[in-house]
Structure 1
């Protein structure tokens, strides 16, 4: 469908007609010599008012019409298309403390540490979050912003894969990680602010207590989902032979449950890579990417095409006029026969 941005400019179309009402220029005094009556008759016939509307004149009129039409800034409205809107501002806080190197997970049927399993699952989760702004916080003894909120999920994923154990220290500052997440989300206009906190331990460092950070998150309408990662049992070699231990004995599940409950989120327990994958599938359902479909119609500007057509029409008019005048130009006195 065609739409004009400034349709009132079409009032300029009859402007050239005003030229007919302007005072005519006085006739020149130079005498014109005609060789014979037939040439004079030919000249009079071609200067008849009806004959003056030559191809050159039609091209000039067309150039003016195209130029006025171009000045109205016409646009072509395409067919409506569905656009996925921005859903959420979503931060992922990833534990990089020393305990994340415990190899109690399986990845592709091979033993892997907790961080490797988390990276593998996060890669698929982040790629599926197109339409959301994703950010990454890493924490250990301190919390750091690894990647600010961005729609560029490919770059976010790359930064997650580059994270290494010990980057942020050996301890676990859960409260500082939540506080940093709130700070990144507090000035954002989105009313759907989500923080996913993944850890395998208890709060052992930092200046902010997790309970206080959770209270502030609730006040800022930030929903926190917590994930406790780590197996319940693991066979290790000791001096007396194989021994079964609980590698997640330091995991503070009570704290993680309270943080999630206080902010309206959910607590999940990931004892294996498969459970971790199921958790992030559940999070996709709890925090769906698009809020609702938005339909929009693409706009295509026609200005440059009309302006080019006007220029070509004006050029053609000048060419035809010069050609006609060269072929029918009357002889003036002093011209050679």
Structure 2
């Protein structure tokens, strides 16, 4: 559904006419900033087509400015929110070893990341009422999708992830620490990190043991 968040801004539409109508005319010897591209149009005689073209152009610009300030927005269908929902962060390994095609999916060999996407797609679809987030990690960890009830967006961001996007190594500790950081300012309970990786920690600023202590301190279940 399309709507304007501040529709009352359209009350400003007649403002230029009011200013032109009631303010005293500007004297000829008064300095002013003029736009070279419209100067000739503005100085045309009142009944000329060039003057009407200039007025139409300025009116259109004013209308577009007011429409932008009124904050146009598209609103989707409302999402049901359950108070007992969990906070779940998904942390997915994008290191080089995830490219190994040693998984079987529908009778064909696929790489490990493809299998992770397949399994998580079903997991995400079942998380109605839960808030989900997505972290991708390899040489480092970064937040791909902040916590949201929009499961379709989380699934889309996961499916669009590619190997080599963040490097070749595996920063498990950093992925855990980043998850805890995103949970830290949230008062919700049932905070869960789902960590999907096939390797050992080979990069990052924190070891998994240090990150685990941090997760325990903030009551995050891994």
Q: TM-score, normalised by structure 2?
A: 0.63
Contact 2:132 2:148 in 1 (8 A): yes
1:20-42 CA-to-partner distances (Å, cap 9, x unmatched) read xxxxxxxxxxxxxxxxxxxxxxx
Residue of structure 2 equivalent to 1:216: 214
Inter-partner Cα distance in structure 1 for 2:117 and 2:147: 18
- Which of 180, 184, 204 is the matching residue for 2:202? 204
Residue of structure 2 equivalent to 1:240: none
Inter-partner Cα distance in structure 2 for 1:114 and 1:216: 28
The residue matched to 1:99 in structure 2 has which SS? helix
Residue of structure 2 equivalent to 1:179: 177
1:47-78 CA-to-partner distances (Å, cap 9, x unmatched) read xxxxxxxxxxxxxxxxxxxxxxxxxxxxxxxx
Tell whether 2:157 aligns with 1:159.
yes
1:84-108 CA-to-partner distances (Å, cap 9, x unmatched) read 4341110010000000000000111
Tell whether 2:146 aligns with 1:148.
yes
Contact 2:81 2:129 in 1 (8 A): no
Contact 2:140 2:204 in 1 (8 A): yes
- Which of 124, 127, 133 is the matching residue for 2:125? 127
Inter-partner Cα distance in structure 2 for 1:201 and 1:84: 36
**Structure with greater contact order relative to length (CA < 8 Å, sep ≥ 6):** 1
Task: Quote how far apart the aligned CAs of 1:168 are.
Answer: 1.0
Contact 2:86 2:192 in 1 (8 A): yes
Contact 1:103 1:113 in 2 (8 A): yes
Q: Which runs of 5+ in 1 are unaligned?
A: 1-81, 225-337
Q: Quick check: which has more Rg, 1 or 2?
A: 1
Tell whether 2:96 aligns with 1:98.
yes
Contact 2:133 2:154 in 1 (8 A): yes
Q: TM-score, normalised by structure 1?
A: 0.42
Q: Which runs of 5+ in 2 are unaligned?
A: 1-79
The structure 1 segments of at least 4 consecutive aligned residues displaced by more than 2 Å after TM superposition are 82-86
The residue matched to 1:189 in structure 2 has which SS? coil
RMSD: 1.3
Contact 1:86 1:133 in 2 (8 A): no
Task: Quote how far apart the aligned CAs of 1:189 are.
Answer: 1.2
1:104-138 CA-to-partner distances (Å, cap 9, x unmatched) read 00111111000001001111100110101000000
* Structure 1 residues 83 and 144: CA distance shift in structure 2, 3 A: closer
* Structure 1 residues 116 and 188: CA distance shift in structure 2, 3 A: same
Task: Quote how far apart the aligned CAs of 1:147 are.
Answer: 0.5
1:218-237 CA-to-partner distances (Å, cap 9, x unmatched) read 0100000xxxxxxxxxxxxx
